[in-house]
């Protein structure tokens, strides 16, 4: 009986690992930052969840900690990718040429007062590099 449970857990962990691999493949194949963040969020969320569930099936007494971990991944993963994408658009990284529409660039993206400071420091850095 124990062996069967271990095999089921191992198979679920393997499926999770496959999803994590697909996420990594997407990072290489996608054309721009935003699409890379997409694959990095989606495939890795389910991959991490399945890996944790597989471990939880093998070690049944860890289920509480694994449940807390899954909730943490589900809450923190979208927030971090949202902030990364917002920051990428804020500093003006362009979308790939295959993109259809960009509603955000019509409005002024830079609204923070420190805008001038940022450009000044970046100019200073550029002059240093030169």
Judged by beta carbon, residue 103 or residue 113, the one nearer other proteins is 103
- Classify residue 92 by burial, with Cβ atoms within 10 Å: 0-12, 13-18, 19+: exposed
Which of 7, 8, 94, 96 touches other proteins by CB under 8 A? 96
Quote the Cα angle for 85-86-88, to 5°: 65
25: left (phi over 0), alpha (psi -120 to 50) or beta: alpha
Residues 6+ apart with CB under 8 A from 45: 73, 74, 77
Query: How far apart, in whole angstroms, are the C-alpha atoms of residue 52 and residue 65?
Result: 10
- Asked if 20 touches other proteins (CB under 8 A), the answer is no
Judged by beta carbon, residue 72 or residue 123, the one nearer other proteins is 72
Least distance CB 16 / other proteins (angstroms)? 10
Stretch that binds other proteins, among 5-13, 24-32, 114-122 (CB under 8 A): 24-32
Q: Are 39 and 52 in contact (CB under 8 A)?
A: no
Which of 102, 120, 123, 125 touches other proteins by CB under 8 A? 102
Contacts with other proteins, 54-93, as mask; x by CB under 8 A? -------xx-xx-xx-----xx--xx-xx--xx--x----
Judged by beta carbon, residue 9 or residue 40, the one nearer other proteins is 40
């Amino acid at each position: 009986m124990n062996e069967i449970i271990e095999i089921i857990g191992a198979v679920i962990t393997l499926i999770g690992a496959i999803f994590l691999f697909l996420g990594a493949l997407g990072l290489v194949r996608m054309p721009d930052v935003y699409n890379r963040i997409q694959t990095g969020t989606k495939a890795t969320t389910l991959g991490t969840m399945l890996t944790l569930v597989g471990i939880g099936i093998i070690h049944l007494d860890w289920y509480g900690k694994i449940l807390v971990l899954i909730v943490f991944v589900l809450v923190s993963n979208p927030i971090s990718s949202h902030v990364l994408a917002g920051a990428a658009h804020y500093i003006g990284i362009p979308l790939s040429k295959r993109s259809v529409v960009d509603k955000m660039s019509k409005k002024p993206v830079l609204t923070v007062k420190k805008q001038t400071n940022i450009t000044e420091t970046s100019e200073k850095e550029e002059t240093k590099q030169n």
